[in-house]
Amino acid sequence: MSNATRIIHSIPTDPLTGAIAVPIYQTSTFVQEAPGVNKGYDYARTGNPTRAALESIVADLEGGSTGTAFASGLAAIDAVLKLLSEGDEIVAVDDIYGGAYRLFTHIYGKFGISVRYVDTTRPEEVFDAITPKTKLVWIESPTNPTLKVSDIAAIARITKAAGVLLCVDNTFATPVLQQPLALGADIVVHSATKYLGGHSDLIAGVVVTKDPGLGARIRFIQNASGAILGPFDAWLVIRGIETLSCRVRLHCTNALRVAQFLETHPAVAEVFYPGLPSHPNYEVAARQATGFGGIVSFSLKQDSEATAVSFVTGTKLFQLAESLGGVKSLLCHPATMTHKSIPEGQRRAAGIRPSLVRLSVGLEDAGDLIADLDAALARVAAARTTAVANSLADAS
């Protein structure tokens, strides 16, 4: 059965009423016949039927045994980190999501958990960084914002041999394009805020594990820490998932056209999109995923923060906002927005130049999106010509 059909039919009809849409169980508790005798639910932090439907849908999409839904992507990441103990080490991708960096460093650092950041596109760096204290390898693929792609199967062979868990943040690829558990990962996390929800109208996160025992530990953490997803937002994510497959395909088609346009534009220095044969990880990306996603980053020849800011405030269809994965195209300036919490030196090492701009290519017409970018690039070039002329006039 094709992915599109499977996804649509993974959403159950209501067993009680036959409702074709999953009902929203907006309740805090469930009446019991006698102490401990109930219909599978007792208190809605522990379990809620709407959330449970979402959890099993996402587990199924990722090919895992257990799904757990959280109040945000970061709450999902936090739940995975709570598997660790004082003194444990993490090996993580250097181009990590800024919020994950902040959580690892400023929260878990206090509890004696340390992180080594490496270039995970080179599996040998992961191998070299693992010590007897390493308990978790953390990758994102593709990464945010430079779209680096790591070879998940190669890294999984290393973590298996070392007895270390491998967690993949699959937010950018979605299970439509890439299934890390099938490639050997142990855990997948999602910011469901992005493509799973897909409409820029909620904040949510999901953890999926392959092993049921590990899933039970995450479920214990979910109940013990309490950062659960509410039923209405769970319902919105389910509604988003109904169209996930067709949305993601169109995001990919549009993003490739935008990336190809940018690659030929004279004002553009570098384009980061794993679907371009010029991308250093193009082959791995083509091997392990069935598409290259909807995110495109690029830097300008005039590599300054000021130029980038003038560009990101100069587009009309691409709107300036954090986040990604919705139907409307967005753009952002990572150095001053999403990745501000990463120290400048580390940012530069990860390839985040002052002029780097990240696009979340939406579902508008690709020709309209390209015209919007073209016009904003022309405005930036015109502003530069004026500035150069003015400074020559000043000098003479």
Q: How far is the CB of 28 from ligand PLP (least distance, A)?
A: 24
Q: Kindly name the residue from 94, 95, 151, 169 that is annotated as catalytic.
A: 169
For every residue of 348-383, DSSP letters joined together read HHTT--TT-EEEE--SS-HHHHHHHHHHHHHHHHHH
Residue 302 and residue 286 in contact, taking contact as beta carbons nearer than 8 Å? no
Q: Is 169 a catalytic residue?
A: yes
For residues 84, 85, 86 and 87, what is the CA-based torsion angle, rounded to 10 degrees? -70
Smallest distance from ligand PLP to CB 203, Å: 5
Among residues 148, 194, 219, 353, which one is catalytic?
194
Least distance to ligand PLP, CB of residue 277, Å:
25
Catalytic residue among 41, 42, 45, 119: 45
In the complex, the smallest distance separating the C-beta of residue 205 from ligand PLP, rounded to whole angstroms, is 5
How far apart, in whole angstroms, are the C-alpha atoms of residue 132 and residue 70?
31
d(CA 308, CA 306): 5
Specify whether the CB–CB gap between 243 and 176 falls below 8 A: no
Is 82 part of the annotated catalytic residue set?
no
User: What backbone phi and psi angles, to 5 degrees, belong to 274?
Assistant: -65, -15
Nearer to ligand PLP, 144 or 307 (CB): 144
Give the largest CA-CA distance in the chain: 92
The CB-of-295 to ligand PLP minimum distance in angstroms stands at 9
Closest CB to ligand PLP among residues 14, 322: 322
Residue 103 or 380 having the CB closest to ligand PLP = 103
Cβ neighbours of residue 232 closer than 8 Å, sequence gap 6 or more: 24, 26, 50
Work out the number of other CB atoms within 10 angstroms of the CB of residue 384. Answer: 17
Which of 97, 108, 195, 273 is labelled catalytic?
97
For ligand PLP, which is the closer residue by CB, 267 or 332? 332
Gap between the Cα atoms of 233 and 289, Å rounded: 28
Residue facing ligand PLP at closest CB distance? 73
**Residue whose pair of structure tokens reads 């999409």 in the numeric block:** 61
Q: 97 an active-site residue? A: yes
Q: Which residues form the interface with ligand PLP (CB under 6 A)?
A: 72-74, 97, 99-100, 140, 144, 169, 171-172, 191, 193-194, 203, 205
Nearer to ligand PLP by Cβ, of 108 and 172: the residue is 172
Looking at the annotation, which residues are catalytic? 45, 97, 169, 194
